[in-house]
């Protein structure tokens, strides 16, 4: 699991002493596209592309695109843009704040905006995100997550993720109740030159009526991924 883009660049810059902007482009494929434990590809493989820009003064921005499968739209694509600011608190420790917007081709009803704040160290990071209209369902959600990685060998890392989301139902949903939902992922990441290979086991709780985009994919599964950074 990678550190958040802005924090990773800021930590790298603080260690090297350089003051250069950085642009990265990563093309990848995964056996199942999971967002917070939920499959957005109906349990099927997905192709993805991300472009990130990090400025040495802490500002960062990027775009992420992925194929997806949604309940009412069928096969579609997700495009997420994000921007934020990260700053050092101490050597090896940074904070960040930012905003993201997710949009779906031919399925604008699922579009949503999310704001976030976070902390990151060299091997552990955390983030708290808030969405006033998660996946366009009128539900207020707060999502907390912790991500970590541990070097096992020169090119091999153990990675982990733990997330917990709380959703308040929309005002019109008279019978709906607030929902808590957790997800967990444990795996290995292997880096070979510009290639990054991942193998991970992920699990989440059962479906809930508020999560109408959760149409396919098992509650627990193994995910394989490969990425190439240009």
Please check whether residue 226 is in contact with residue 197, taking contact to mean a CB–CB distance below 8 angstroms: yes
Please check whether residue 47 is in contact with residue 67, taking contact to mean a CB–CB distance below 8 angstroms: yes
Residue with tokens 């091997």: 123
* Tokens of residue 213, six digits: 């985009």
* pLDDT digit string, tens, across residues 106-138: 899 999 999 999 999 999 999 999 999 999 888
Query: 168-192 burial by CB neighbour count: b if 16+ within 10 A, else e?
Result: bbeeeeeebeebebebebebebeee
CA dist., res. 97 & res. 92, Å (int): 17
CA dist., res. 127 & res. 176, Å (int): 27
The answer, yes or no, to whether residue 158 has pLDDT greater than 80, is yes
* pLDDT digit string, tens, across residues 77-97: 999 999 999 999 999 999 999
Residue 85 burial (10 A CB sphere; 0-12, 13-18, 19+): middle
What ranges do the domains of the chain cover?
5-229
Of 62 and 169, more confident: 62
pLDDT computed for residue 10 by the predictor: 42
What is the architecture of the domain spanning 5-229? Answer: Beta Barrel (2.40)
Question: Among residues of the chain, what percentage have pLDDT more than 70?
Answer: 83
CA dist., res. 61 & res. 23, Å (int): 10
CA dist., res. 4 & res. 219, Å (int): 26
The answer to pTM > 0.75 is yes
């Amino acid at each position: 699991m990678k550190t958040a883009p802005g924090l990773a660049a800021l930590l790298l810059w603080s260690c090297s002493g350089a003051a250069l902007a950085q642009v990265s482009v990563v093309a990848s494929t995964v056996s199942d596209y999971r967002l917070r434990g939920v499959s957005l590809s109906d349990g099927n493989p997905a192709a993805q592309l991300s472009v990130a820009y990090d400025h040495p003064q802490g500002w960062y921005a990027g775009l992420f695109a992925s194929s997806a499968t949604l309940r009412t739209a069928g096969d579609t694509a997700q495009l997420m843009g994000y921007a934020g600011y990260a700053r050092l608190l101490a050597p090896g420790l940074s904070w960040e704040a930012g905003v993201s917007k997710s949009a779906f081709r031919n399925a604008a009803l699922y579009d949503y905006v999310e704001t976030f704040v976070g902390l990151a160290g060299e091997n552990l990071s955390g983030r708290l995100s808030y969405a006033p209209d998660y996946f366009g369902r009128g539900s207020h959600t707060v999502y907390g997550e912790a991500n970590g990685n541990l070097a096992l060998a020169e090119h091999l890392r153990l990675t982990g993720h733990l997330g917990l989301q709380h959703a308040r139902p929309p005002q019109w949903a008279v019978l709906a109740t607030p929902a808590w939902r957790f997800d967990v992922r444990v795996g290995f990441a292997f880096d070979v030159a510009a290639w990054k290979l991942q193998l991970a086991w992920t699990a989440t709780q059962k479906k809930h009526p508020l999560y109408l985009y959760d149409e396919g994919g098992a509650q627990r599964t193994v995910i394989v991924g490969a990425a190439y950074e240009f």
